A and B are shown apart, each in its own frame.
Chain A
């Protein structure tokens, strides 16, 4: 960790309101949210089926009477069936990975955009950002909420932005050196990659002006934080969010760096046992289930994030009164995060299906030999796909890689292998081997 301290600063008064005030605010907002989602046929039916409405919400615990929302529900209501406002009021669309060929879309109206910028501004300021800073954003700009979400947050704070976007590490380092950015925003593994490439170029810690980093988009560990902080000479902060409920801004760390403050005045967060859907005790690991309290264009009731974490309700020395969440330490489904991009094995299957008619046996292998993820899909070749011509086998490999790229948005190398050469677990086929060390290895877990 660098020598200098991060000054504790709070963006707005709501972050420090009393727990009683906060609970009253949440209750009122939850009622109004339930009233607003009734404009969505999906929720109208679900609420009618359960016989609940805004009047059923008497205490915050009544949230458990409300219906859950899953990624599958977004898929069934593709593309914008979950809109709660007229389409004309929408000012932005973002998206995240669906479980099959199509993405999941989310929508924002003007009020949502203002809110989203403020939520990002809160955690950015908590982690050292000041209006006089130069901020280098090396996130992908596009449907992915990370790039634009953080960009708007920085803009809200009033700092200068270098929208470097993703890729071309040598160019990133040139920009960091010459424009002297104070703050770096990207995925934690890309921050390490920048440090690594910089070192290869003879750059020493301190050669860059960087003082703060805000990293998200993929799970990471305390070990990675220690390395990033040492190699780039910065304070590295974690932030969390997901497109379905907003994007980045659901939670973020303060200067204390002991958990991410959930922005509870805008999100009601439950931590449930993913099997029984009963609440776990505070401090116990569970799946985060999030209700958007104030989102207007696409409000979501009890979204099953599938992210496993635990909550800490003890007071934080920073003065914020909100509950903190731990790092995400796992998933309650089979989603993979590869170079910050969410990938489902079912998407790979869909790509194979499109290219070959039926999906052959396959295996996704993940590794992180350096800073960055390496992903490979091994595909067993079938007699009907085999050609005596090397060019045709290369073309087959290329077609599968292209289709995977179209569906997932990232390049994953395909390797053709012999039939029956991939491991088969009893009963169910094994689809993923993950050699990366980042998974589920957070030493501070109480569970």
Chain B
């Protein structure tokens, strides 16, 4: 199952991060995880929230530039070699990873990581075929 990720354009200057976080707070939308990519001039804030379409609507209403991107939340065994095993599968399949970041929440005893692939559909097919756990619903995640 692919997950909708929100991407926001942010200028690289003080206080810009507060704009979307405040909008989401006021709308009562919980941020499940996030990552911030920065360059010398601008940044891209990537967010996973419970209700992406609603979050996109409120953020755009507040003047933010928002994209929806498909990512895959992959279950990673929380032990030495856990991530390496997942990456080995991806390597064999010749999929390209554009970026990766982690969820703070887990699924049972497993860590969960967000993967952005160049070809999400192909990636999902491969991971499923190789029996790598993929999160279908964000509700499956548990908090510590």
Assess whether B144 is interfacial by the CB under 8 Å rule. Answer: no
Assess whether A415 is interfacial by the CB under 8 Å rule. Answer: yes
A390 with B11: CB separation less than 8 A? no
Assess whether A420 is interfacial by the CB under 8 Å rule. Answer: yes
Chain A residues packing against B (C-beta within 8 Å): 381-383, 386-390, 393-394, 415-421
Q: Which residues on the A side are within 8 Å of B98 (C-beta)?
A: 389
19 more contacts with CB within 8 A, not counting A390-B44, A416-B9, A421-B11, are: A381-B9, A382-B65, A383-B65, A383-B66, A383-B67, A388-B7, A388-B44, A388-B46, A388-B67, A390-B39, A393-B9, A394-B39, A415-B41, A417-B11, A418-B10, A418-B16, A418-B63, A419-B65, A420-B63
Report how far A416 CA is from B13 CA in the complex, Å: 12
- Checking A386, A390, A420, A421 against B67 with a beta-carbon cut-off of 8 angstroms, the contacting residue is A386
- Checking A381, A390, A419 against B37 with a beta-carbon cut-off of 8 angstroms, the contacting residue is A390
Report how far A416 CA is from B16 CA in the complex, Å: 14
Q: Mark B9-46, 1 if CB is under 8 A from A, else 0.
A: 11100001000000000000000000001010110101
The closest CB in chain B to the CB of A378 belongs to B11
Q: How far is the CB of B46 from chain A (nearest CB, A)?
A: 7
Q: Would you give 7 A-B contacts (Cβ < 8 Å), ordered by A?
A: A383-B60, A383-B66, A417-B42, A418-B9, A418-B10, A418-B11, A421-B11
The count of residues in chain B whose C-beta lies closer than 8 Å to any C-beta of chain A is 21
Report how far A398 CA is from B42 CA in the complex, Å: 14
Q: Which 3 A-B pairs have the closest CB atoms?
A: A388-B7, A388-B69, A386-B65
Query: How many residue pairs at the A-B interface have CB separations less than 8 Å?
Result: 46
The closest CB in chain B to the CB of A387 belongs to B67
Q: How far is the CB of A170 from chain B (nearest CB, A)?
A: 26
Q: How far is the CB of B100 from chain A (nearest CB, A)?
A: 14
Q: Which residues on the B side are within 8 Å of A390 (C-beta)?
A: 37, 39, 44
Report how far A381 CA is from B64 CA in the complex, Å: 10
Report how far A178 CA is from B7 CA in the complex, Å: 57
A418 with B65: CB separation less than 8 A? yes
Q: Which residues on the B side are within 8 Å of A381 (C-beta)?
A: 9, 65
Q: How far is the CB of A186 from chain B (nearest CB, A)?
A: 31
Q: Mark B80-112, 1 if CB is under 8 A from A, else 0.
A: 000000000000000000100000000000000
Report how far A390 CA is from B65 CA in the complex, Å: 14
Which of A388, A390, A393, A415 has the most CB atoms of chain B within a 10 A radius of its CB?
A388
The closest CB in chain B to the CB of A393 belongs to B42
Report how far A56 CA is from B73 CA in the complex, Å: 85
